[in-house]
Each structure stands twice: as structure tokens, then as C-alpha cells.
Structure 1
Amino acid sequence: MRHSTYRAAMAAGLAALLGATATFAQTKSLVVAGYGGSWEQQLRKDVFPAFEAKHGVKIDYVAGNSTDTLAKLQAQKGNQLIDVAIVDDGPMYQAIQLGFCGKLDGLDKSELYPAALFKDDKAVAVGQTGTGFMINTKTFKDKSWATPTSWNDLKDAKFKKLLVIPPINNTYGLYTLMMFARMNGGGEKNIEPGFKVMKADVNPNVLVYEPSPGKMTELFQSNQGQIAVWGTGRVQAFANTGFPVDFIYPKEGAPILLASACPVAKASPNPLAQEFIKTLISAPVQTVLAKEMGNGPVNTKVDVNMPELRMAPVGERAKLVIQPDWDAINAQREDWTKRWNREVER
């Protein structure tokens, strides 16, 4: 298996980090809600076992999109079952605003990039991802198609029913709408141009608006999808399986997505929630997530020059990163979602 020698070394380092003493042995379970797909697979393989062994705990993982997790927090208000929420930065700002996140105590900020920090330590980023295009390199080569370089290339008629975009309740779909608004005289505070382009020029090319990471990869494996809007980490994880895909940074910019975690506020918070999040942002785990998934690390001690980060928004590629205005987005996101469902994804 790829990285087998590396994995053994990292396992030893992670075991040393976690130790062998069950500090909170009395805690029997920890409920973590986060992403599915490659994220869930990697956490189950490289993070959960050592953490469970140290703390004598069983991690119950609830997989779902960020908006699904936020909806669960809203539905469980006053009786939260989730201990740790892992969601995109946009929904995380909403979760904090709604009072769903407790404070991270004793957060060592000296090892973290400033972009990973949230106000009042109510959350912390656990990975950085750039948003752009995933292409099937074999198909593009066989058809002699030029590599797309612009968001406007998604309007090209040759991609009719070959383009896959996540829906607006997924950050990648939201970013697609935002970029077309920005490029046509609007932006987060004037989304109208984005809707106009999506309906008239992009929608005819869309095979499906797919929220599931697993189904996204299936669409490419079955040769139905040939180009998609997705994130660097997802594409790198898919490429690591040997499938011929690559990530393209559009010249107009790649909106940044910060996978973020917070301890859920509740009357009797699980003390292991804090420990789990600190484990996620530790150098050993951040290195594993970078090596295996291509996630841009948030810990400064991780080597960003490793070949596995060739797609990640680090180094020179970081210059193409765009920071969205989440205050403006979240103030209107519900209305945008309703309109998207009426006018775009019908």
C-alpha cells in the first residue's frame, strides 16, 4: 500500500502523542458529526483507533454535509446529542452565531496558522481546501480538449451533461454561484448576476447537482462525469486511488474552504470533545490528513512541500485563494437556497 512505511512511522508518532493513559476513561462515547467520503474513511483508519484506545471511549460518527450537521444541531437545540461538529467555515460561523459552539480551552495558537483561528476560540480550522475544477485527464487527452483555465469554461457547450456541481447547500455549489456573481459585476452582496449565468449558461451542461462525495467519485468512475467543481482535498484523495483526475485552479481565483471543528455547547459537555479537536490539529494528525487526503495543513509544523500537497492551496498556489464574505453570505443564504431550488436545480 502507498505510504506503508510512512504510515507505520506516523502510527508510532500518533500513539506517542495520545499516550496510553485513559484520562477520561469514565466517558463511554463521543459523538462526532462530520463529512462523509474520504474524510470519514481517513478518520476511522488513522485517528479513531488510537484516540479510542487512550481514552477508553467509542466514537460514534455521524456523516453528512455541513448544512445537514447544522440542521441536526438546530433540531437538537436544548438537548444536543453531538459532542464535536466538523463543518465548513460558512456553516461554522452560523453555528457559532446560534450559540451551538462552546469555547476551546487551552488552545495552543503558537503552532497554528492565523487563518485557522476563529473569534473567541469558539472553533478552529482542521484543514484548508481550494475550490476549483476536477477533470478526468484521460478523457481530456483522448478528446484533445484544452485544460480549462476559467470559471467561464464551465459554460462550454462541449461539457453538456458532463459537468457535476454540488448543490447550493454544499459550499462548493455556493462558491460556484458566488464566483459567477463576482465575475459579472456582482458578488456576495449582489448575487443576481450569478443566478443569471447559472440558469442560462451553466445549467444546460450540468449532469447532476451531487452532494455526496461517494456518488461524485462514482459518476467519474462510470464515465458519466468528466468535469466537476470540487475541492483540492477531495480531488487529491480520489487521485490517490489511481483514478486519472487532476485539480485545476481557475485564473479568476479559488475560494478557500476551511474544514472546521467546534466542541458543541451543552449543559454537560463531554470533556473529550476538547481533546479530540486538539488531536485533529496536532502535527501528526495534520500530516496524515495532508499525506493521505491532500488537505492543506493548519499546523505550521507540517511540511507543505510534500508531493502529496501538490494540489493544496499552499505556497505559490495560495496566491489564487479567495476569501469569501461569510457575513454577507450567511445573511442571505436561506433565501439563495430557496431561489436555487426554484430556478436552478429543478
Structure 2
Amino acid sequence: MLLSAALAGTSALGWSAAARAQAAKLVVNTYGGRWEKFWRADLLPPFTKASGIEPTLDVGLGKNFIANLRAAGVEKPPYSVLMINENIASMVRAEGFFEPIPLAKVPNLTNVYPNLCNTGDNGVRAIISTIGIGYRKDMVKKPPTSWTDLWTNPEFKGKIGLYQIGNTAAMLFLLMTARIFGGSELAIDRAFAEIKKLLPFQQADWSGTLATLMSRGDVNVAVIDFPEVVALRKKGLPVEMVVPKEGVVAFEQSFNILKHAPVKEAAYKYLDYILDPKVQELMAREFFTSPSNQRSTVAADLAADIPVHGKLMSSIVQFDWPKVNPQVPEITERWNREMK
């Protein structure tokens, strides 16, 4: 495998006999579909070969992982390390499940872009899928350069694609709108007022549905995650992605160490492996994600498909989830009522 070759010298990482002895007890989580396939075929085998740690893979959805955590309680978590969207991670972090990541145990944390490390290193956003504007080149005469073009370009009226509010991307777009027009992600009323001006627009439950709307020409512009635009382009569709001048938002997979992890040392090794620059490069090639390690490089043949990397990682706009999360139920209900 590519990763096996890239990490041929991993014995230098110093994985101990104690960590190897805990191999069968480390539970790591991921999602289904391509994620599960990649974890089983490409990600975990080289880790096991180098460390002797053979994780048990838990495949599911974020809501399943959080339900498992809460059912077990803070003192006896089923996981030692947990991958979850940062907006969700912030909720259980506040419940006391996680603890800061010690740099001495996870040295690759040193090279993660600063804006991807939570305060006090309590969680790190290791897998980044950026979200910006995608548009049909054959249907748009004036390409967008700003989020505000969704409002000001008459070509887009009635041809905009957005996510449904149940998708994190819709919440990210709403918060970005609040910040642009209201000066803060907490300017929710202003965000609703502005987004309603975009009506009528198409709403999709997930990226695949939004991609279908674009391929059919039902929409000529969309707020969409860039990997989906890459997939459309590889199918021959004349689409392009734009990094708006105000910055992009992102699906951020946050990795967290459990305070009462059953096999904490093995969890440190796994997290350090995830943050390894070569592992980050492999994930970029598979998922078109933006590497979180500053020592990773994006190959020339991938640069056009991963527009946010290197210095542009600072263009990722982030929000204060502990302040936003209490409002999510009301925002969701209001969106479903008003965005019709």
C-alpha cells in the first residue's frame, strides 16, 4: 500500500510494548461507505503493522457515537479517542468527557495549523472538508467571488442550491451570513432576514442530492463542499469552485481524547498517526480534504481539487459553538417554518 511505503520508518515513533499489548482493546470510530472502506483497507493496516495495535472499528453516525458515550457515562466511555464533527464535539466536551491532548504524547500536534487546535489543545480538528461556492461555468456569465454575490448577482435568482438545516453545512452558511451581515455569528435574526431574500431556492439533504441538482441544471450555483464539486468535475460536468474573499467554512472532524479512556496510551499513538503528514496526504488524495499538518504537501495533480491548503488554511472561518449550540433547536424549527 502507498501508506505502508510512506511510513516504512514508523518504528522510530517509539511505540512501546505496553501499547502493543493493548492492541485488541482500542476502539476507533468512523462513518460508513467510503470512510469505512478507507479505514479498513488503507488507514488501519499500516498503523497495526507499525505499532502492533489492532483497533476495533466502530462504524456509524455521529448521533450513534454520542449516544454510546452518554449511555456509558463520563467514567466508563466505550472509546479512548473519538472522531466527531466539531460542532457536536463541543457539546460533549462541555459535559466533561474530553481532556487536553498532551504534546509529549502526540508530537505531531506541534505541526497542526494553529486555527485547527482547540483552546488548551482540548481536541484537534484533523480532517477538514472545506465548503464554499460551486457554480456551473456554462450557466453563469459572472463567476462569484464573494458570499454576497449570492444576493447581488441576478443570474442566481431562483437558481441557488442550499442544504437543509439538518445538515451541518446549512448551519455553517447561516452563521457565516450572520457574521457577514450582522457582524457576529450570534446575529441570527439578521441571518434569517438575509437568507429569506434568496428565496426561492432549492434545498438538499446531503451533498449527493445537491450535486444532482447541479448536474441537472436545476441550480447554477450552490453552497457546497468542495470534494463534491471535484466529483462532478471528474464526471465531465463544467463546474468550478470558489474560495469566497470572506473565507470558507468547513466540515471539521474533531479528534478528542477521553478523560477516562480505557487505553489512553494506545489512543495517543492512534491520534499521532492520524496527524502524521503522510497520513494527512493520503486522506487528501482519497477524500480531497485539506491536510491539517503544516508539513504535509498537496501534490501538483491535486492542487486544483484542494484549493484550500497551505497558507489558505487561515481562510477557514470558525464559530463559537458553545454559544451557538443552545440555539440550534430553535434555529432548526424556525428554518423549517420560514424557509419555504
Give the Cα–Cα distance (whole angstroms) in 2 for the partners of residues 287 and 313 of structure 1: 14
Assess, with a 3 A threshold, how the Cα gap between structure 1 residues 209 and 218 changes in structure 2: closer, same or farther: closer
Alignment of 1:134-173 (within 5 A): 134-135=134-135, 137=136, 140-141=137-138, 143-155=139-151, 163-173=160-170
Mapping of residues 199-278 of structure 1, within 5 Å: 200-206=196-202, 208-211=203-206, 213-217=207-211, 220=214, 226-236=220-230, 239=233, 244-266=238-260, 268-269=262-263, 271-278=265-272
Distance 1:18 1:320, change over 3 A: same
- Relative to structure 2, which stretch is displaced further, 281-290 or 28-37? 28-37
Confirm whether residue 195 of structure 1 aligns to residue 189 of structure 2: no
Deviation of 1:13 after TM superposition, in Å, equals 1.7
Once residues 282 and 122 of structure 1 are traced to their aligned partners in structure 2, the CA distance between those partners, rounded to angstroms, is 18
Instruction: Note the alpha carbon deviations across 1:16-68, whole angstroms, 9 max, x for none.
Output: 4279998435542543334556544543442122234453525324243x566
Residue 335 of structure 1 pairs with residue 330 of structure 2? yes
Which residue of structure 1 aligns with residue 175 of structure 2?
178
Does 1:93 pair with 2:90?
yes
* Alpha-carbon distance change, 111 to 186 in structure 1, aligned in 2, over 3 angstroms: closer
Give the drift of 1:154. Answer: 3.6
Compute the RMSD of aligned alpha carbons.
3.6
- Residue 73 in structure 1 maps to residue 72 in structure 2: no
In structure 2, how many angstroms separate the alpha carbons of the residues matched to 1:59 and 1:162? 45
Indicate if the aligned counterparts of 2:131 and 2:250 stay in contact, CA closer than 8 A.
yes
Query: Mean alpha-carbon deviation: is it higher for 253-262 or for 223-232?
Result: 223-232
Write the deviation string for residues 268-313 of structure 1: whole angstroms up to 9, x where unpaired.
3464332221111011101212333332222222125744244342
- In the TM superposition, what whole-angstrom CA distance separates every residue of 1:248-267 from its partner, at most 9, and x where no partner exists? 12233323553321133446
Aligned equivalents of 2:216, 2:266: Cα separation in 1:
41
Query: What amino acid does structure 2 have at the position aligned with 1:74?
Result: R
Shift in alpha-carbon separation, 1:13–1:178, aligned structure 2, 3 A: same
Secondary structure of the residue aligned to 1:322 is: coil
Alignment check: 8 A CA contact 2:158 2:198 kept = no
Shift of 1:194: 0.8
Task: Map Cα deviations across residues 155-204 of structure 1 (whole Å, 9 max, x no partner).
Answer: 56765775443333433211211122233335322210111222x23342
Q: Does the C-alpha gap of structure 1 residues 114 and 58 become closer, same or farther in structure 2, counting only changes over 3 Å?
A: closer
For structure 2, which runs of at least 5 residues remain unmatched after alignment? none
Question: Mapping of 1:298-317 within 5 angstroms?
Answer: 298-304=292-298, 306-310=300-304, 311-315=306-310, 317=312
Q: Which runs of structure 2 are paired with 1:113-132 in the superposition (5 Å)?
A: 113-132=113-132
Instruction: Sort the Cα spacing of 1:42 and 1:225 in 2 relative to 1 into closer, same or farther, 3 A.
Output: farther
Maintained 8 Å contact 2:281/2:298: no
- Structure 1 Cα separation of the partners of residues 302 and 328 of structure 2: 34
Partner Cα separation in structure 1 for residue 111 and residue 154 of structure 2: 47
The one-letter code of the counterpart of 1:95 is V
Tell me how far apart the structure 1 counterparts of residues 27 and 163 of structure 2 sit (CA, whole Å). 26
Task: Label 1:233 to 1:126 Cα distance change in 2 as closer, same or farther (>3 A).
Answer: farther
- Number of aligned residues: 330
- Identify the residue that residue 39 of structure 2 maps to in structure 1: 43
Determine the structure 2 residue equivalent to 1:325: 320
SS in 2 for 1:151: coil
Instruction: Quote the Cα distance in structure 2 between the aligned partners of 1:288 and 1:218.
Output: 27
Instruction: Report the secondary structure of 1:28's partner residue.
Output: helix
What percent of counterpart residues are identical?
26
TM-score normalised over the length of structure 1: 0.77
Equivalent-residue separation in structure 2 for 1:38 and 1:228 (angstroms): 24
**C-alpha spacing 1:29/1:165, structure 2 compared with 1 (3 Å):** farther
Q: Which residue of 2 aligns with 1:107?
A: 106
CA, structure 1 residues 13+304, in 2 after alignment: closer, same or farther (shift >3 Å)?
Answer: closer
Counterpart Cα distance in 1 of 2:170 and 2:326 = 17
Contact 2:77–2:262 (CA<8 Å) still a contact in 1? no
1:273 and 1:302 map into 2 onto residues whose CA distance is 22
Contact 2:204-2:210 at 8 Å conserved across structures: no
When residues 86 and 161 of structure 1 are mapped into structure 2, their CA distance, relative to the original with a 3 A threshold, is farther
Q: Distance in 2 between matches of 1:18 and 1:241?
A: 41
